[in-house]
Amino acid sequence: MRGPVLALFRTRSAAIFGIEAQTIEVEVDLYPSASQRDSVVVGMPDMAVRESRERIRSALSNSGFGYPSKSVTINLAPANVRKEGAGFDLPMAAAVLGAMGTIRPCSQTLLTGELSLDGGLRPVRGVLSMAVCARKNGFHSFIVPKENAAEAAVVEGLKVFGLRHLREVVGLLNNPEQFQATLPTQRAESAPGVEVPDFGDVRGQTTAKRALEVAAAGGHNVLMVGPPGSGKTMLARRLPGILPPLTFEEALETSQIHSVAGVLSSEEGLLRDRPFRSPHHSVSDAGLIGGGMGTPHPGEVSLAHHGVLFLDELTEFNRNALEMLRQPVEERSVTIARSQMTLTFPSDFMLVAAMNPCPCGYHGDPTHECRCSGGIIQRYMGKISGPLLDRIDLHIEVPAVAYQELRGKETGATSAEMRERVLAARAIQLARGSINANTSPARLREICPLDAAAEKTLEMAVRRLALSARAHDRILKVSRTIADLGRSEQIQAKHIAEAVQYRSLDREYWK
C-alpha cells in the first residue's frame, strides 16, 4: 500500500573517478507547479543522466507504480562533481518512489543500475569500486543489477543484492528479510580460468625462451627483434603461463580497473588470470594510455596492470603513443590531466614488444635477401627512441627456426618447469622486499654485490657499449634476476655477461 507523500526523499549512489568511487546523495523533491509533471535533474549531470528522466518515467509507469502528478526536482550532491553514466537511474527512481511514499527510507543502502523502459535492471560499469566505497563509508547493503552481483559480492562486510527488476528493488527495500544476499564466488588460486599455450610446444628458440624466463622471474620488459614467422607472437602469448598467480590484492585492484572499463566478466567476481593485452598498432593515444571525452577512462596500459602488455609490430605504432609509454613504464602509473580533474591510473605491467629488423623483415636473415638500404633501415629503427629503449631491460634476437629444429623431437623446457623456477626466484626477491624490476636505485646497490670479476665485466660493458646510467641500472637488475634463478647470493661475472648480452642488440640495430 502506498504511504503518505513525503515530498522530499534521499537515496545514495556512487560515481566513478579513476578506479575509485565517491558516494553521491540523490535528493528528490515533489512540488506543485503551473506545468504539471515537469522534471528536472540538477547537480552537474551529463547527457546520459539528464536522459534518465524519460527512462525513469516509463519504468515507473510500466512497473505499475505510476508517476507523480507534481513537478519533480532531482538533485545529485555534491553539486560540484560531474555525474556520468546511466548508473544513477535506479537510485533516482527509488528516490522518486520514496517521495511518493512507495518505499521506506534506505539511508544505509547504496544503489546503482540502469533502467530499461519496462523496469528491468541493466548492468553498469565500476560496480566493484562502488562496493569498496560502500564498505568504507559504512553502508550495510548494496543493490545492483543481477549481472553485477558477482563482482560486488567480492567485498567482505557488505550485503550485496543482485536484482533483475525495479519491482524486486521495491520489495527488498520494504521487506528485506524476504531476500537473500549474493554469496561471493569461490576463487580457485591454483587453477587458471583461461588455458594458456605451453612453452613446450615451441621448437627451437632456446635463447628467447631463456630470456622470457628471466623477464618473468624479475618482472622485466622485453623487446624481441626477428623476421616474420620466427615465433615472436607465439612466444609472447605463452609468457602469462609462467608468471606467478595473482594475489588477492592484485586481483582486486586489477578487477577494479576492468570493472571501470566495462570489460569484467559477469560470471566471476575477480580476475583469476594475469591480463594479457595486445592492442592493434592503430590504437589511439587515449586507447593506449587512457583518457577520452569527459571523465578519463583507463587505457590498455592500465588494463594490463599486473599482467602483460604486448605490442606487436612496435614500429607501426604512432610515435607519440610510444613516447607516452615512457611514464607508465618508468613510474608504473599514468596520470591524465583535464581542466576539471586529474586522475591517476595504476599501470604496473610487463612490456613485451616485437618488431622486424627492417621494413621488409629480413635484415640479417641468411635465407632471405633484404631489399632495404642502410638509410631505410636506420629510419625504420629510428621510430623507437633511445629513452624508450633504455626502459626495456632485455633486447633479444629471435631468428627464423632451422628446419632441423622444426622437425626434431627436442621440445625444451615446458611452461610448468619454467614456472617452477620463476616462482622460486620471485620468492627470493619478495623476501628482500620487491621484485627486481621495481627495485629503487638506492636499494639496488645493497642487493647487487659484485665480485671482482663481475665488477670488471660490468665496467668493460658500460665503456664499450657507451651505456647510459639507466641502462647500467637495468643490467644490474637483470643480473640480480639471473643470479636469483641460479640461487646465487652474489652476482658473478657470468650473470653480468648474460645480462649484457640482452642489451647488445640495441647497439647492433640502433647505432
Q: 153 and 281 share a domain?
A: no
Q: 348 and 436 share a domain?
A: yes
Q: What is the pLDDT of residue 191?
A: 47
Q: 174 and 204 share a domain?
A: no
Q: 331 and 438 share a domain?
A: yes
**Residue where a domain stops, chosen among 178, 209, 224:** 178
Splitting the chain (511 residues) into consecutive groups of 10 residues, what average pLDDT does each group show? Answer: 64 93 94 70 91 93 91 92 92 95 92 96 95 95 95 93 96 93 69 72 88 96 92 93 93 94 84 94 92 85 96 93 91 85 91 93 84 88 86 90 71 88 95 91 88 90 83 91 94 93 70 57
Q: Supply the range of the domain harboring residue 126.
A: 8-178
316 in any annotated domain:
yes
Q: 117 and 249 share a domain?
A: no
Look up residue 104 and give its amino acid.
R
Q: Provide the number of structural domains found in the chain.
A: 2
* Contacts (Cβ under 8 Å, ≥6 apart) of 127: 112, 144, 148, 151, 152, 259
Q: 223 and 139 share a domain?
A: no
In sign, the C-alpha dihedral spanning 380, 385, 391, 393 is positive
Q: What is the pLDDT of residue 190?
A: 45
Q: 169 and 237 share a domain?
A: no
- In whole angstroms, give the CA distance from residue 476 to residue 491: 9
183 in any annotated domain:
no
187 in any annotated domain:
no
427 in any annotated domain:
yes
Global pTM reads: 0.88
Element (H, E) at 253: helix 248-261
185 in any annotated domain:
no
- Is 452 in contact with 496 (CB distance < 8 Å)? no
Q: 154 and 257 share a domain?
A: no
Q: Which three cell numbers stand for residue 486?
A: 641460479
Q: Coil, helix or strand for 467?
A: coil
* Contacts (Cβ under 8 Å, ≥6 apart) of 260: 16, 18, 19, 125, 126, 129, 297, 298
189 in any annotated domain:
no
Do strands 394-397 and 222-225 pair parallel, antiparallel, or not at all (unpaired)? parallel
194 in any annotated domain:
no
The CATH number of the domain holding residue 366 is 3.40.50.300
Q: 384 and 281 share a domain?
A: yes
- The Cβ of residue 340 has, within 10 Å, a number of other Cβ atoms equal to 11
Q: What is the CA radius of gyration of the chain?
A: 28
- The Cβ of residue 206 has, within 10 Å, a number of other Cβ atoms equal to 12
- In whole angstroms, give the CA distance from residue 445 to residue 477: 10
Q: What is the pLDDT of residue 192?
A: 52
Give the Å distances, CA to CA, from 462 to 78, 444, 456, 465, 468. 57, 17, 10, 6, 8
Q: Where does 166-220 have alpha helices with state H? A: 166-174, 206-218
Q: 169 and 224 share a domain?
A: no
DSSP secondary structure string for all residues of 343-389: EEEE---EEEEEE-SSSSS-TT-TTS-----HHHHHHHHTTS-HHHH
Q: Which residues pair with 134 in a beta bridge?
A: none
Q: 59 and 159 share a domain?
A: yes
Q: 39 and 152 share a domain?
A: yes
The CATH number of the domain holding residue 148 is 3.30.230.10
CA atoms within 13 Å, Cβ hemisphere of 235: 34
68 in any annotated domain:
yes
